[in-house]
Structure 1
Amino acid sequence: MASSGQEKTEEPTSKKLEDTRKKGQVARSRDLATFAVLVGSSAGILIFGKEIAASVLDVCRRLLSLDEKDIFNPYSMFAVWDEALIELFPGLLKFFLLILLAAYVGSVLIGGYNFTWQAVGFKWSKMSPLAGIKRMFGMQAMVELIKSIAKVLVIGGLTFALLSTFFDDIMALSLMTNPEDIFASAEILAWTFFGICFSVIVIAAIDAPYQMWKHHKELKMTLQEVKDEYKNSEGDPRVKGRIRSLQYQAARRRMIAAVPTADVVVTNPTHFAVALKYDQAKFRAPVVVAKGADEVALYIRRLAEENKVPVLESPALARSIFYTTELDHPIPEQLFAAVAQVLAYVYQLNMFKKGKGKRPKNLAKDLPIPDDFRH
């Protein structure tokens, strides 16, 4: 007995469904397509039968009405055939277009429209005698045999019933005169054919759900197949985790190296810290060169103090920048006014330390931060 990991118990993934469609493997019911074509044909006879019968009658009259000039003219036969084709073409064209439409609808009714060159490609597996023997004696062959027997019984029985029903009308055709016999025979043929075609609906009603169920069952996957597909499409989770770890370490090293070059570090004071740098030649707004929470925030603050970068406490502004701005990105326009006050204070403080200005007033505790940017 196969282990649970090898049993096809899992639903097919979207990738499996897409791949099978590209290969042309979709649910199809030949009996449903046959039913659609037959019903389309019988409907075509019912709709266009009289028109075609009238055209045939005119052609017969023309072919059987030859005068002396037509008999001795070797080219008159070609002219008569041209007239016959022109007479028959409109009715037959509409009849065959209806059949073509029915064939298309019957084919795409289950499985939908799907065109792929892979389905018509040559496969050596189809040439294998062993594979052919397996198909001949497999479950699918048994199902097809049962369907064939059912078709013979159903269609044969219904055909006998219809012929019995129309027996008197068929025998009466010999007593009719032209052209009534042609139109009557066309009508009998149409309704008989229509009834026989609808007998196929019994087989199609069984085959279509069976083909959908069979196709879905064949597409089911084992648990291991699902895992392997996830690894192939999304990548091994352990590898992805390792890549994320390396990316985080590289970003952290780059961030730590940028702290000494920052203009100011805004803190929460201990839970959050963001380092800002404003280079008018490169950026139109201050850029977040480092940010972190908890231990990283404390490390950023310590680096700033070691490198004599001003550290200002503004909890609301620190949280707003931390949650709304990505690393190495400029701050949003909504925070321009608040950050401008911080940079102005830092500039005045630096000038005061150099002895070139007065000591600035303390930074305002309530900076202009929009409500939707407060966190």
Structure 2
Amino acid sequence: MGEQPDHESQTEEPTAKKLADAIEQGNLPMSREVTVFFSMLGLTIVNAFIFRDSLASLGIQLRYIINNLDQIPLGTQLDASNLFCLILFESGSRILPIILPLLCAGLVANIAQTKFHIIGKRIQPDFGRVSISAGWSKLFGLKNLVEFLKNFAKLATISILLFIVLKGNQDKLVSTMFYDPSLLPELILNLSMRLLSVICIVTLVLATLDLLWVKGQWRRDLRMSKQEIKEEFKQIEGDPFVKAKVRSIMLDRVRKNMMASIPKATVVITNPTHFAIALRYIREEGGTPIVIAKGTDLIALKIREIAEAHEIPIVENRPLARALYDKVGVNDAIPTEFYRAIAEIIHYLNTKRTPGAIAR
């Protein structure tokens, strides 16, 4: 026997990974009452729009066949088979529109709860689940007790509603039966429509409450201990794929922020195509020139494109561009060893006041 989980220590809410793993394994919060509600809704729709016309059409067709039996050959077994196939076809073509909405209602109920999440593992036979002791404990467990109470409440509610409807229309049913029996099917159809409508409302309330309870119970069953959360965090933190993914996301964000700051640059120093460094220096802001963006190859080309689009001066200085790229990080001030070279470039730009590319 496997070790039973210590539910007393599982006091923490399940993490997003625990919930995702449960869904991946087919452990989904499913409410039977939602399926019942959709089935009752489908039955109500069928009763209101399809049932009467389909049965009336079937009755007319069967009556026609019975009234004209003398014109239908029945001398051989083949003739009898043809008559049987004809009746089967006529019956099926009228009953199928009644059955299809009910099947669709059940399918919609399951898709609405599972979002069409098909788990092949759940439908594979697993003899490890066959356990007399486990089945006995489930039989008298809390979930089955709740299911029993729900089923009892549904049965009692439907019985009471049926009694109220029949009791309130008892005189009308008896009088119709004696004075005009041909109106009896229509009366029964109307009474069943009223009964189904009330049952749908009751089932909707019950399905809503049951769905909330099932989802709450599902999350309670997936609760974790503090030790489990720590182990999961260590597992995620140590996963090389996760680390690479996080690093990629962080680099992408840094790159986007860097590109967004290029229009604020004072000058871009290039190699000319392999390196590009965007500097910002405004005398009124004080301090020293700051590298607000840098990159090589494609990123360098992108920096140049943004600079040209915003008419930021581009200066070609191969040794300076390479040195700045190697020694200065983004958002860092340039070291003192570059003061003279950068000062000459800024002085030249302030003198010329000419945007565009400046070769040196």
Q: Which TM bucket (shorter chain)?
A: 0.5 to 0.7
Tell me which residue corresponds to 1:35: 37
Tell me which residue corresponds to 1:18: 20
User: What is the one-letter code of the residue matched to 2:225?
Assistant: T
Tell me which residue corresponds to 1:211: 214
User: In 1, Cα distance between the equivalents of 2:105 and 2:152?
Assistant: 25
2:270/2:317 contact within 8 Å kept: no
Deviations 1:124-176 (A, max 9, x none): 44201111111012111221222232223222212211221232343345346
Tell me which residue corresponds to 2:51: 49
User: In 1, Cα distance between the equivalents of 2:16 and 2:99?
Assistant: 38
Tell me which residue corresponds to 2:315: 338
Question: Is 1:130 the equivalent of 2:133?
Answer: yes
Tell me which residue corresponds to 1:143: 146
User: What secondary structure does 1:324 align onto?
Assistant: strand
1:24/1:119 contact within 8 Å kept: yes
User: What is the one-letter code of the residue matched to 1:285?
Assistant: H
User: What secondary structure does 1:207 align onto?
Assistant: helix
User: What is the one-letter code of the residue matched to 1:49?
Assistant: F
Out of 338, 342, 347, the residue aligned to residue 366 of structure 1 is 347
Offset at residue 177 of structure 1 (A):
5.8
User: What is the one-letter code of the residue matched to 1:174?
Assistant: M
Deviations 1:328-351 (A, max 9, x none): 98744248832438769x9xxxxx
User: In 2, Cα distance between the equivalents of 1:168 and 1:223?
Assistant: 67
Question: Is 1:159 the equivalent of 2:162?
Answer: yes
User: What secondary structure does 2:117 align onto?
Assistant: coil
Percent of residue pairs identical: 21
Tell me which residue corresponds to 1:305: none
Residue range with higher mean Cα deviation, 7-16 or 80-89:
80-89
Q: Which consecutive unaligned segments of at least 5 residues does structure 2 have?
A: 1-5, 248-268, 278-287, 324-342, 356-360
TM-score by length of 2: 0.64
State the superposition RMSD in angstroms: 4.0
User: What is the one-letter code of the residue matched to 1:32?
Assistant: V
Offset at residue 48 of structure 1 (A):
0.9
Q: Which consecutive unaligned segments of at least 5 residues does structure 1 have?
A: 245-275, 289-314, 347-361
Distance 1:105 1:329, change over 3 A: closer
User: What secondary structure does 2:55 align onto?
Assistant: helix
Instruction: Report how many aligned residue pairs link the two structures.
Output: 282
User: What is the one-letter code of the residue matched to 1:31?
Assistant: E
User: What is the one-letter code of the residue matched to 1:47?
Assistant: F
Out of 168, 173, 179, the residue aligned to residue 170 of structure 1 is 173
Structural mapping, 1:1-375, within 5 Å: 7-70=9-72, 72-74=74-76, 75-175=78-178, 180-235=183-238, 284-286=273-275, 316=289, 319-320=290-291, 323-326=292-295, 331=300, 332-333=303-304, 334=307, 337-340=314-317, 363-366=344-347, 368=349
Structure number with greater Rg is: 1
User: In 2, Cα distance between the equivalents of 1:185 and 1:5?
Assistant: 53
User: What secondary structure does 1:338 align onto?
Assistant: strand
User: In 2, Cα distance between the equivalents of 1:367 and 1:93?
Assistant: 88
